[in-house]
Amino acid sequence: MTVTSPMTNADRSIAQEGLTVGTMGDAVARLMALVGMFADEFSGEHDLTPGAIPLGAWHDRACREAVTAVAVAGESATAAQVAAAMPELAEAIEELAVDVAADLAAVCARLVELGADPTPLVEPVFGMLTFALNECACFIQLWPRTPGQRPHFPHPHDDDATTRATVTEQLTAALTANRKKRTTAMTRADYGADLDIQDPTGWVDCCPDDHDPRQREVSAHLMTASWYTLDSWMRAALALLQDRNVRRALPDRDTLKAAVDRVRPWRGELHFVAVLLRVLDDEPLIVLHQPSGRGFMVTIAGIADLRQLHTLLAATMSGSGLLTGPGPSREQVAAADGSGRQRTRMEPFYDLTDCHGVPLPDDALPADIPTTSNTIDSPRMVILSPSSHAHTWVTGRLFDRMTPTLSQVRELTHQEAARWITLAPEQPQASTPTHAEEDAATRDTP
């Protein structure tokens, strides 16, 4: 999956407004000057209101123009210019209002796609994404609903000033109405079984119980802004999480995963962020080839789903002489390992089962493969047996910029392989996929 900057017509917009983009350095300097003004505005140090234009509206417009200038300048900037700008852009993401910060995060995601180092962005982007998700959780909890029915939330793409104002008013009213009856912990009973909260203990009181009406308005504004900018934060996260170093350095992964899981039932576009948060890196995997009794220890990283893993395993097994007939084609392997086009069609070479003898679905994730025991160092194990039914799927890479690897560490000794095979139950006959499942398997991925 690739990320597209939201500033699709940025150059046209700037030309119409009569603005000058300048170099990347000029654009970033202008943005950082506005970041300083934003901090002063909230500290009350001095009034920067130009003429009769309200400071908030003027500053918001100026910041958006500055972010647009960064987006345009970044398309033609050198690698050195972008690298020099990244630390300041990361600082700006933490300092700007959530609306503008989300736009800037999406612009930075585009720069990462163009080759920029994402490291400076990790803490600000994922910190702000977690913040926005928590605000969206509050939004979901407070939004008016009819008892017994699933709530109807505003569509995130129906974003204009009038709609936002109406939404903010409704949330402010909900905060006011709930102020006296809300407690310190939220449970399923507080919001009704119609919400279908999978883990009600995970829903905490993230909405302030404040007697100050102004504070409730500010809280409602943050929830609204987070709801409408979540797509931009998601785009930034998708760009960054395809980098293995980012996944390794991700701060407080469990908190972020919990925040994603709370909001995902109502914002389905979070699915791909959830997938990336579960990608395994430097993960040992035992592979047993049941027909031959041979086994291998491999290490996997950056593999999005079992179709991709299947292709890479088949290529490895073919090289070890463990496939009857031809193995995956060069095109199929290239689609899976990142050296060729992103997708192609293939037939499975094996049925994959786990260490308990349970068939592994084609669309499962490597993280879904269970470990061989409950101990912390226990490896995952997959068992390969001849494919029991003919069908096809689209294989390749779910995320175009994520580099997958499958490295054979060593072949297990005959005794080691025999021990693992003895521990594994007899393999059940894999079920033939339904037409609906085959259709799902061939559906284009983003």
Does 31 map to a domain?
A: yes
Query: pLDDT for 83-107, tens place per residue?
Result: 999 999 999 999 888 989 999 999 9
Residue of higher predicted confidence among 198 and 341: 341
Element (H, E) at 345: strand 343-346
Query: Amino acid identity, residue 77?
Result: A
Query: pLDDT for 1-52, tens place per residue?
Result: 544 444 434 333 433 344 556 789 999 999 998 888 766 555 444 343 333 3
Confidence at residue 154, expressed as pLDDT on a 0 to 100 scale: 94
One domain for residues 91 and 146: no
One domain for residues 194 and 241: yes
One domain for residues 163 and 110: no
- DSSP conformation letters of 26-72: HHHHHHHHHHHHHHHHHHT------TTS-HHHHHHHHHHHHHHHHHH
Residue of higher predicted confidence among 330 and 198: 330
Does 126 map to a domain?
A: no
Which of 257, 277, 297 terminates a domain? The answer is 277
Q: How confident is the model at residue 119 (pLDDT cuts 50, 70, 90)?
A: very high
Find the domain containing 31 and state its range: 10-117
> Is the pLDDT score of 437 beyond 80?
no
Confidence at residue 14, expressed as pLDDT on a 0 to 100 scale: 37
Query: pLDDT for 284-294, tens place per residue?
Result: 999 998 888 88
Report the domain count for the chain. Answer: 3
Does 127 map to a domain?
A: no
Confidence at residue 266, expressed as pLDDT on a 0 to 100 scale: 92
One domain for residues 313 and 430: yes
One domain for residues 172 and 314: no
Does 4 map to a domain?
A: no
* Residue 7: closest CA among 47, 64, 85, 48: 64
Confidence at residue 202, expressed as pLDDT on a 0 to 100 scale: 44
Highest mean predicted confidence (pLDDT) among 54-68, 95-109, 341-355: 95-109
One domain for residues 325 and 191: no
One domain for residues 338 and 205: no
One domain for residues 25 and 61: yes
One domain for residues 27 and 95: yes
Handedness of CA 52, 57, 61, 63 (dihedral sign): positive
Does 3 map to a domain?
A: no
Give the whole-angstrom CA distance, residue 269 versus residue 251: 22
Does 446 map to a domain?
A: no
Residue of higher predicted confidence among 391 and 199: 391
> Is the pLDDT score of 201 beyond 80?
no
One domain for residues 437 and 293: yes
Highest mean predicted confidence (pLDDT) among 269-273, 291-295, 375-379, 415-419: 269-273
Which of 117, 144, 161 terminates a domain? The answer is 117
Mean pLDDT of the chain: 80
| pTM beyond cutoff 0.85 | no
Does 30 map to a domain?
A: yes
Give the whole-angstrom CA distance, residue 404 versus residue 338: 7
* Residue 310: closest CA among 359, 353, 354, 349: 349
One domain for residues 181 and 327: no
One domain for residues 358 and 318: yes
Query: pLDDT for 125-165, tens place per residue?
Result: 999 999 999 999 989 988 988 777 778 899 999 988 899 99
Confidence at residue 390, expressed as pLDDT on a 0 to 100 scale: 78
Does 5 map to a domain?
A: no
